[in-house]
Structure 1
Amino acid sequence: MAADKGSNQSVEKAVALLEAFRDGEPRRVGDIARETGIGQSTASRLLATLEAAGLVERDPVTSLYFLGTELLTLAGVAVNRIPVHRTSRMVAQTLAAELGLGVNVGIRQGSELVYVCHFEGAQSPKSHTLLGERVPLHATSIGKAVLSGLTAADRDAVLSRGLPAYTQRTHTQRAMLDRELAVVARRGYATEIEEFVLGRASVAAPVVDRSGATIAAVSISGPLSAIALETREPELARVAVETADRISSALGFHGPGY
C-alpha cells in the first residue's frame, strides 16, 4: 500500500508540474519548484522523466522548460473523441470563413467551459489558439448560454464559488446574472460585451444532446469594431441559434418530446 501511495503522490506532483505551464510561459526548475511547493531536487527528477517522455522540453542554452510536442498528439486524440467536436468542427470552420469572425464551440467541465473548436475569421485574428482554453461561465456569452440550460440546483453548484470580476462590466452579483440568464433562456441566445476581455464582444447559443440536456454552446466573437452588436445582434443571434440547432441535430436531438 505504501508503494501505491508513493506512486500516486508522484503522479500528482508530475501533474502539478505540467499545470505550472498553463499560462504558456517557460520556466526554470527553481521557478516551478517554488510555484508548486515541490522540492527542487524532486522537481528536477520529475522534469527529467517528463522530458524523456516528450511531455516537456528544455532549452539547452537557457535551461528553461516548456511543454513538449508529445502533448499535441495526446491532445489531438483527446479532442477527436469528443462527439461535440466531431459534429461541430466543419460547421464552425465554415461559419468563421463566411462571417470573417471567430467561432468557438465549448463544453462545460465543472464551473468552466472548455473550447473544443476554435476558428478565426479574417476580421478576428488571434495571436494564439484558444483550443483547450478554459473560460468562466458567468463572464462569457458561450458560458451564459450553457448556464441558461442548467437546472437551478446545477447552476447553484456551478456558481457556488462566486462570480469573480474580469472587467468592470462582469456580472458579480448573482441576482443580476440570474435575471440575464432568464432572458437568455427565453430568447435562446446570450450576448457579452467586454465582460471577459476588453475590446471584444460575442453572441452564443446553447447546444443540447439527444435527451435535450444542455451540454455545450457555440459562439460568434470578435473585436467590437467588427462584431458591432448594437446593429448586428439580430443577424448574428439568428446565425448562432441556427448553428447550435444544427449541431444539436447532429448529436441526435430532434425536438422536445420527439
Structure 2
Amino acid sequence: MTEKKDSGILDSVSNALRILKSYSHSQPVKRVNDIAKELNVSKSTASRLVKTLAAEGFLTKDTESAGYRLGKMTLTLGGIFANSNEIYREMGPVLNEIVSETKESAHLAVIIEKELVYLMKYVGPYYADTKIDIGETNPLHATSSGKVLLAYGDSNRINEIKKEGLDAYTEHTITNPILFEKELLKIRRNGYAVSMEEYTYHNFSIAAPVFNIDGEVVCAIGMAAPTSRLKQNKLPNLIKIIVNGSKIASELLGWDG
C-alpha cells in the first residue's frame, strides 16, 4: 500500500513539473482543459494540480481569461538561481560590454537536451526581431550559438542531431550532414561561428565559446542583428568583439587558455 501511495505522489509531482515546463513565450497562458490534453490526464486531475501550484505561488490566475500564468514563485527561484550561479554573476558585464561596442543585443546560451536555450539577454539600443528571448529554445544546427556548442561538445550529440535530420528553416540552413561536419570543424579552427540567415531571413548572429577552469565549454555568448545593419567590412570587427568577449568571460571563470 505504501509503495502504491509513493508511486501516486511521484506521478503528481512529475505532472506538476510537466505543467510548469509546458509554458513558453508563445503560450504564456494556459487553460485547465489545454493542460489536461497536453498531460493526457482527466480535467479533474489537471484542475487539482493547477490549484495546488497556484496555492504555492507557482501559477496565478490570468485576469483577462480563464487561464493561468506562471506565478511569482517561479521568478523567486529564478532570482535565487541567478544570484548563486557563477555564470550569471560573471557574464553580465561581458554582455553589457558587447552591447556597448556593437549597439546590438547580446546573449548567453546553453544546450539543454537537444535544443539551444537562452539564459541571458542584454538588449541593445537598436530594434531587432531575432527570436531570441530568455528561456526561448532554438535549433542547434541553425544558430551560431548552437553550432559553437556542438562544435566543442560531445560527438554523440552531433550524431544524434544528424540522425534526426537537419531541418531547413531557410534556404541558407545547412542540411547536408557532411557539410555540417565541415562547418563544425571550421568553427573549432576559427574559434567562433556565424549564422547568416540560417534560422530566420534578414537576421545574422555571431557566437563564441566560453570555457571554465577545467577547459570545458559551458556556454556560448554572442550577438544577433538584422542583416540590413551589416556591412561586409564590418563583420570582421564584430567577430573580433565577440571572440574577445568570450576570452574575457572564460578568464572570469578561471580559464587560463
TM-score by length of 2: 0.90
Contact 1:84–1:251 at 8 Å: present in 2 too?
yes
Show the counterpart of 2:12: 10
- List gaps (5 residues or longer) in structure 1: none
Query: How far does residue 83 in structure 1 lie from its aligned partner after superposition?
Result: 2.0
Residues in 2 aligned to 1:128 and 1:185: alpha-carbon distance in whole angstroms? 26
In the TM superposition, residue 40 of structure 1 has moved relative to its aligned partner by 0.4
Deviation of residue 67 (structure 1)? 1.5
Partner SS for 2:164: coil
Question: Is 1:30 equivalent to 2:33 in the alignment?
Answer: yes
Residues 1:60 and 1:232: Cα distance change in structure 2 (over 3 Å): closer
* In 1, Cα distance between equivalents of 2:131 and 2:73: 19
Q: In the alignment, what sits opposite 1:147? A: 150
Q: Which one of the candidate residues 178, 183, 187 is aligned to 1:180?
A: 183
Structure 2 matches for 1:108-127, cutoff 5 A? 108-125=111-128
Aligned match of 1:106 in 83, 100, 109? 109
Deviation at 1:252, TM superposition (A): 0.9
2:251 aligned partner:
249
1:162 and 1:229, CA in 2 relative to 1: closer, same or farther beyond 3 A? Answer: farther
Alpha carbons 1:88, 1:247 under 8 Å: kept: yes
Checking the alignment, whether the CA contact within 8 Å between 2:105 and 2:121 is kept in structure 1 is: yes
CA distance in 1, matches of 2:184, 2:64: 52
- Indicate the residue corresponding to 2:134 in structure 1: 131
Distance 1:173 1:63, change over 3 A: same
Whole-Å separation in 1 of the counterparts to 2:127 and 2:171: 23
Post-superposition shift, 1:229?
5.6
Q: How does 1:150-169 map to 2 (within 5 A)?
A: 150-157=153-160, 159-169=162-172
Taking only aligned residues, the RMSD between alpha carbons, in angstroms, comes to 2.1
* Match of residue 90 from structure 2: 87
In structure 2, the residue matched to 1:239 is: 241
Residue 135 of structure 1 deviates from its aligned partner by 2.3
CA deviation vs aligned residue, 1:200-258 (integer Å, no higher than 9, x gap): 111111111112222211111111122x1633221111111100000111111112xxx
Inter-partner Cα distance in structure 2 for 1:173 and 1:128: 24
Amino acid at match of 1:33: A
TM (norm. structure 1) is: 0.89
| Preserved CA contact (<8 Å) 1:101 1:221 | yes
* 2:22 partner amino acid: A
Aligned residue runs from structure 1 range 14-93, under 5 A? 14-22=16-24, 23-59=26-62, 62-93=65-96
Q: Which runs of 5+ in 2 are unaligned?
A: none
Give the C-alpha shift of residue 75 in structure 1: 1.3
Counterpart of 1:10, as a letter, is S
My pick for the range that moved more, 121-130 or 36-45, is: 121-130
Query: Is the 1:169–1:194 contact (alpha carbons within 8 Å) kept by the matching residues of 2?
Result: yes
**Alpha-carbon separation, structure 1, partners of 2:9 and 2:176:** 43
Deviation, 1:166, is 2.7
- Give the fraction of aligned pairs with identical amino acids, expressed as a percent: 32
**Change in 2 beyond 3 A, CA 1:169/1:81:** farther
Deviates more, 1:92-101 or 1:137-146: 92-101
Q: Distance in 1 between matches of 2:131 and 2:155?
A: 35
SS of residue paired to 1:7: helix
Mapped to 2, the partners of 1:178 and 1:128 lie a distance apart of 25
Amino acid at match of 1:143: G
Indicate the SS of the match to 1:211.
coil
